Amino acid sequence: MKGMTKQEKSWVFYDWANSAYSIIITTAVFPLYFKAAAKEAGIAASASTAYWGYANSFATLLISLLAPILGTIADYKGFKKRFFTFFFALGIVFTTLLALVPSNQWLLLLFCYMLTVAGFAGANIFYDAFLVDVTTESRMSRTSARGFAFGYIGSTIPFVLAIALIMTAQKGILPFSASVASQMAFAITALWWGLFTIPMLRNVEQQYYMEREPKPVAQSFKRLFQTFRNIKKHRALFLFLLAYFFYIDGVDTIITMSTAYGTDLGISSTDLLLILFATQVAACPFSLLYGKLAEIFKGKTMLYVGIIMYIIICTYAYFLKTALDFWILAMLVASSQGGIQALSRAYFAKIVPKESSNEFFGFYNIFGKFAAIMGPFLVGVTAQATGQTNSGVLSIVVLFIIGGFLLIRVPKTEDISSSNSMSV
């Protein structure tokens, strides 16, 4: 935190705050809790998995489609903070309800979860867009990287507490069931998320905006339509988004498929949780390192480094055989996962027109969300065709190569920024 302004620190703390949701609600605890609740209600395992997939897809699709529209409205003075607060509050309220809804009400649990997804994803649109308001262009890479670094560390604290509660409850050490321990984990998540968002709410304000017009909603639709009509004027922005779509798809696919891949190698669930925890911790210093190196060698250069690292990761994964190999793979992922995500956010923040940052971060959100479709499908098809999971993981290299090739064609940030300034 040394050398950071109050606004930068407050912005970074939101990554610390909401990362608890990512690991406890999205990845680790709630999916298992929901599956157990559905099983108790007599729902077949395949059916509950399908419902889980539908809920995630619908909630993500809804917020992704609304993102550019909401972002365009939020570019008007005073709207960005309101939208952020609304979605943040939505996420907090329904995460708290996950702790209060009886475990036998699986459908109500799923409904509440969908609203937490909408709240989490919606708040992130405006949180990312606030990067242009809290820091200067020269400090964006480091600030964004520190956000991811603090997020990794911040997520491990409530995660360890949640796992400790659940495991001790399972062994009968605590006077309540593992189900109640899971509900306590959801309450801890909501409390952690809410408590550490206070600095963001108090200290971060919208600095770049458009003055309000009559009928702001209608005017927002009109501006959004004009953006599509003048897509050639924003060619560099959309070319970067296309590159981002491919390489971040590869990153997200490795995150999504890692547990299944480890299981295929015969690694126990306990070891997988331990590896996940270690990866979160190791990713923190590497995220900071990427941010620092981006100030020396430029953010785009470090994005190339991240892409090359992931090509190495996919190639190494093809030869994986033992648990030690999987540990090495996890640490390689930790070396670049946060860095490539943080610098992508910072690079995009540098090239967007500042007064329209919310609108364009809406598109950034769409490309990031829909990027999670192609990679898993590619892995599945390749693995099924060859009969080898290793071949499926190796196929992801194609996404990084395409993403890297498109990134080469994106002009330098200073050229894009000057062009945007002239257009504004």
Q: Which residue has the higher pLDDT, 77 or 234?
A: 77
**120 and 352 in contact (C-beta within 8 Å)?**
no
Domains of the chain: 1-229 (1.20.1250.20), 235-424 (1.20.1250.20)
Q: Which regions of 247-385 does DSSP assign to beta strands (E)? A: none
Cα–Cα distance measured from residue 66 to residue 122, given in angstroms and rounded to the nearest whole number: 9
Between the ranges 214-218, 320-324, 343-347, where is the mean pLDDT highest?
A: 343-347
Phi, psi of 210 (to 5 degrees): -105, 145
Say what the pLDDT of residue 194 is.
96
- Distance from the first to the final alpha carbon of the chain: 34
Say what the pLDDT of residue 230 is.
60
Residue percentage of the chain with pLDDT more than 70: 89
Say what the pLDDT of residue 64 is.
76
What average pLDDT does range 47-65 have in this prediction? 79
Cα–Cα distance measured from residue 331 to residue 335, given in angstroms and rounded to the nearest whole number: 6
- Count the alpha carbons within 13 Å of 6 in the hemisphere toward its beta carbon: 7
Predicted confidence (pLDDT) at residue 422 exceeds the cutoff of 50: no
Cα–Cα distance measured from residue 289 to residue 306, given in angstroms and rounded to the nearest whole number: 12
If one counts every other C-beta atom within 10 angstroms of the C-beta of residue 179, the result is: 17
Is 268 strand, coil or helix? coil
Per DSSP, 25 falls in state I
What's the pTM value of the predicted model, to 2 decimals?
0.80
- Count the alpha carbons within 13 Å of 182 in the hemisphere toward its beta carbon: 20
Question: CA torsion angle for 74, 77, 83, 85 (degrees, to 10)?
Answer: 150
The Cα-based distances of 315 to 100, 320, 332, 395 in angstroms read 45, 9, 12, 9
Predicted confidence (pLDDT) at residue 421 exceeds the cutoff of 60: no
Say what the pLDDT of residue 424 is.
36
Mean pLDDT of the chain: 84
Cα–Cα distance measured from residue 103 to residue 46, given in angstroms and rounded to the nearest whole number: 19
Q: What is the pLDDT of residues 258-286, one digit of tens each?
A: 666 676 677 776 677 788 788 888 888 99
Predicted confidence (pLDDT) at residue 231 exceeds the cutoff of 70: no
